[in-house]
Amino acid sequence: MTETNPPVIEIRDLHKAYGALEVLKGVDMVARKGEVISLIGSSGSGKSTLLRCANLLEDSQQGEIRFEGEPVKWHGKGHNRRPGDHKQLIRIRTNLSMVFQQFNLWAHMTILQNVMEAPVTVLKREKAEVEALGRSLLDKVGIGDKCDAYPAQLSGGQQQRAAIARALAMEPKALLFDEPTSALDPELEQEVVKVIKALAQEGRTMLLVTHDMRLAADVSHHVVFLHKGKVEEEGPPDRLFGAPESERLQQFLSHSRDG
């Protein structure tokens, strides 16, 4: 790694607690440009919390977060630590688009309006330009015919694909997926998996929290297994899934296969 080409996201010794409950206990993670990093682990292991800390949706109490080599500026310490530069916070968040488990689409807006809203209001881009981009992105995720529909008129899989189009409309440096298929039944899940695989093939930088081990194996350059707030094991997917070293990961994978 050279300073001329730093990772998109770099996290060192990150600690996060909710009151007395310590969720992350000194986690390191690096996502370089064009890499897909999957975060796996059982419920409560800290995967989603790590993702939300990376996007600065959650405040961490200790550790360093860098975006393209630039350290996040902090104010205060411990439970009083907050991002110290509001302009930097907005800029970093704008460049890290998040796709949530529950879609989070605005019910009163059409699908196209949902996709257009942030580029127009946050990035101050021209409406006509953003509309053309929005329509092309909805085509890209396979729901170009649903531009004028409202979220309630779409299936879960279609809503999640609309949420991915909305995330892409910000033209982010990285996409962050928080369990993007776990609210969907298996048939609809495959629609979303197909889109995520296509994005990975385009060389997009992605952080993916997932319960779908097959998806993680197929799209990832690097897999991080979290257990009780720490990185228990990490490495390329063929080694992690093919020859896991830690007993806890072996157990986790055997239960995943059983399921």
Number of Cβ atoms within 10 Å of the Cβ of 141: 24
3-state percent helix, strand, coil for the chain, nearest multiple of 5: 40, 25, 35
- The CA-atom distances, in angstroms, between 98 and each of 73, 172, 198 are 21, 10, 17
Look up the pTM and report it. 0.93
* Percentage of residues of the chain with pLDDT beyond 90: 91
pLDDT digits (tens, 9 = 90+) for 72-86: 999 999 999 999 999
Domain assignments of the chain as residue spans, ordered by start: 109-171
Q: What are the helix (H) ranges across 82-212?
A: 86-94, 111-121, 127-140, 156-169, 186-201
> Residue 209 forms beta bridges with which residues?
39, 178
CB atoms within 10 A of CB 180: 28
pLDDT of residue 103: 87
